[in-house]
Amino acid sequence: MTKRLYILFLLVSVFGFSQSMTSTVDSTEIKIGSQLNLILKAKVTLQDHVVFPERKFIGLMEVLESYPIDTIKDNDKLELIKKYGLTQFDSGVYKIPSIAVKINNKDYFSDSTSVRVNDVKVDTIVQPMFDIKPIVEVKKPAGDWWKYVLFGLLVIGLGVLAYYIIKKIQNHKKEEFKGFASPIEKALVHSETLEKKNLWQNGQVKEYYSELTDIARVYIEESISIPAMESTSNELYRALRTETAKRNIKISPSLLNQFNEVLKNADLVKFAKSQPIASEIEESKKIVNEFLVTLDKGTPRSQEELDNLFQEEVKRKKAKKDKVTRIALSIATVVVLLFVSLIIFARTIAYDYLKDNFIGHTSKELLEKEWVTSEYGDPAIKIETPRVLKRTVDERVQQNLPPTVKSVGRFTYGSLIDNFSITLNTTTFKDSVALDKDLAVETNIKFLESQGAKNILVKVDDYEPKKELTGKKAYGTFTITNPADKKEYKMAYEIVIFTQPNSAQEFFLIYKDGDKDAEKMMERVRNSIELKKSSL
């Protein structure tokens, strides 16, 4: 029995120690915003399943980056290494708590540790101090969106105005016909409108029957001159029988009796609060419409009545045609106004935008337009240019700066294949560094080659700027193929490099060779350069 317990204990021990985990930090003291690395190591077998946690925070430390897992294999054993980049932006002592790593669905905890985050000391004695500048109130521009809204409303207003002007002209020529071609058309239109109201479906049965019978009574008055609106249901029925017989109107007695029943049912609904069912209401509507159509067809018309109906139909069609004409002309007016506006916009604002962002300006245009003076980079380069230079940020460069470099800046206008382009580079070093200007020139020439420049002719001279800073100048020509038209162009360039104890400033000027206006621009840009000295 003792032997069995010993073997069981041995097996449990082997199993328990087949997996293990350790944790370390590469630094226990950092500055605010600096990064330290938390490293977890798990020793497991090939069959083990390991899950490292993914978090945005570990304790109060922010996770800047969770690195991929590294694996070291030793026969049938594995060592998995997981690294977390941590930081904190407030000073103090922070605890990195234990982290649970799942190995075969079982939690294994790392060791906890403490890290001190120190303030960054700022020496305000050595650094030059300047007076606080007064606060200048700057009005925030409201933007130009209201101009486009106002323009759109103006165009729509002109379209509406055109509609009413055309309508007035048409009415001046001939008064517009308003109404229906015949009493039966009026009755059927009103009947259709009544059905769309859904009165009886919403419990308004009395109102429905009242409007239905009024439609019939109005038609009877207008068609066969019986005072239907003033008659009771019985009086109207007797008048209809007399008039249809007298005028030889072809309508069956049974349909006339059915119409009379509808009138009686309407009286019951209006005065006795009767509530007919849905099928009875539908039948009443059907009888009224059939009665009106049959009465209209069966009524003999004199030639004068037929002529009047024909003239009314002509007027109605003319009125409809005039309305369509007004709408069409109004729409055409709006379209023409928009088209003219788009042409003006394309020739002015849009064309300038395309030139600024895609097509590019000619050297003459750039030379004659108003220029911009601004400062770029640190230490700053003050320069006058035809357009504001845009900052171009390469995240890979910013994240992989050499140990001696503090910061870099890059500002550009145009590209190698444009009529004219400018590039400014500023570099600040952490300590006093003697930059090799010849090596910098060589590096910039290689950059031109990487951008597709060929047949590069290079001349190198010393450069003496106005501000007593030493510099090196490289200039010459190169050829480059424009991918748009596949043609090869010859370009002239000038590269100037200035160095200071802990900084370097460079600028590229590139333009089409032989372009006299571009040469004038280069001269103007070169003469405007002012360099600000950096302080150690």
User: Which pLDDT value is given to residue 357?
Assistant: 47
> Is residue 232 domain-resident?
yes
| CA–CA dist 194, 289 (Å, integer) | 12
Apex 253 CA angle, 251 and 254, nearest 5: 110
Question: Which range marks the domain in which residue 33 is found?
Answer: 2-118
Q: Which among 379, 344, 373, 348 has a CA at the least distance from the CA of 499?
A: 379
pLDDT of residue 447: 82
- The residues with which 45 forms a beta bridge, in sequence order, are 77
Q: Are residues 221 and 99 in the same domain?
A: no
- The Cα angle at residue 237 between residues 231 and 241, in degrees rounded to 5: 125
- Helix, coil or strand: residue 175: coil
Asked whether the beta carbons of 321 and 170 are under 8 A apart, the reply is no
| pTM of this structure | 0.38
d(CA 214, CA 210): 6
The domain spanning residue 110 has which CATH number?
2.60.40
**pLDDT number for residue 74:** 78
Report if residue 190 sits inside a domain. Answer: yes
* 128 DSSP 8-state letter: -
Token pair for 98: 């234990």
Adjacent-strand bridge partners of 118: 31
The reply to whether 76 falls in a domain is yes
Sign of the dihedral through C-alpha 225, 230, 231, 236: positive
Residue 386 to residue 384: CA distance in whole angstroms = 7
SS3 294: helix
CA–CA distance, 97 with 109 (Å, rounded to integer): 10
Domain boundary at 279, 300, 321, which? 300
Instruction: For residue 246, give every residue at least 6 positions away whose Cβ sits within 8 Å of its Cβ, in sequence order, or none.
Output: none
Euclidean distance between CA atoms 186 and 197, whole angstroms: 17
CA–CA distance, 155 with 140 (Å, rounded to integer): 29
* 339 alpha-carbon distance from chain centroid: 25
Question: Does residue 70 sit in the same domain as residue 216?
Answer: no
What does the pLDDT profile of the chain (536 residues) look like in tens digits? 444 433 333 333 333 445 678 888 888 888 887 888 989 888 888 888 888 888 888 888 889 888 888 888 877 888 889 899 988 888 888 888 888 888 888 888 888 888 888 876 544 444 454 455 455 554 545 556 666 677 777 778 777 777 777 667 656 544 444 456 678 888 888 888 888 888 888 888 888 988 888 998 898 888 888 888 888 888 888 888 888 888 888 888 888 889 889 888 888 888 888 888 988 889 988 998 888 888 888 787 655 555 555 555 566 666 677 777 777 777 877 777 777 766 766 555 555 555 554 445 566 777 777 788 888 877 777 888 887 888 876 666 666 677 777 778 888 887 766 777 888 888 887 776 666 777 778 888 888 888 888 888 888 888 776 555 567 888 888 888 887 778 888 888 888 888 777 778 888 888 888 888 878 888 888 788 877 666 55
Residue 461, domain member (yes or no): yes
> Which pLDDT value is given to residue 14?
36
Cβ contact 474:460 at 8 Å: yes
CA atoms within 13 A on the CB side of 321: 6
Q: Are residues 288 and 367 in the same domain?
A: no
Same domain? For 389 and 466 the reply is yes
Assigned domain for 138 exists: no
Q: Are residues 197 and 48 in the same domain?
A: no
C-alpha–C-alpha distance, residues 504 and 433, integer Å? 10
Q: Do residue 386 and residue 464 come from a single domain?
A: yes
Q: Return d(Cα 441, Cα 447) in angstroms, integer.
A: 10
Number of independent structural domains in the chain: 3
Report the alpha-carbon distance of residue 421 to residue 441 in Å, rounded.
18
Residue 314 lies in a domain: no
Q: What strands, in cross-sheet order, belong to the sheet with 100-103?
A: 50-51, 100-103, 106-109
How confident is the model at residue 309, as a pLDDT? 55
- Beta-carbon contacts of 298 under 8 Å, excluding residues fewer than 6 positions away, are 244, 249, 250, 251
Q: Given this model, what pLDDT does residue 397 score?
A: 63
CA distance 412 to 420: 11
228 Cβ partners below 8 Å, 6+ apart? 216, 217, 218, 220, 221, 236, 239
pLDDT at residue 2 in the model: 40
Verify that 371 and 511 share a domain, yes or no: yes
- On whether residue 259 sits in a domain, the answer given is yes
φ and ψ of 420, to 5 deg: -155, 135
Assigned domain for 327 exists: no
Residue 530's DSSP bridge partners are: 382
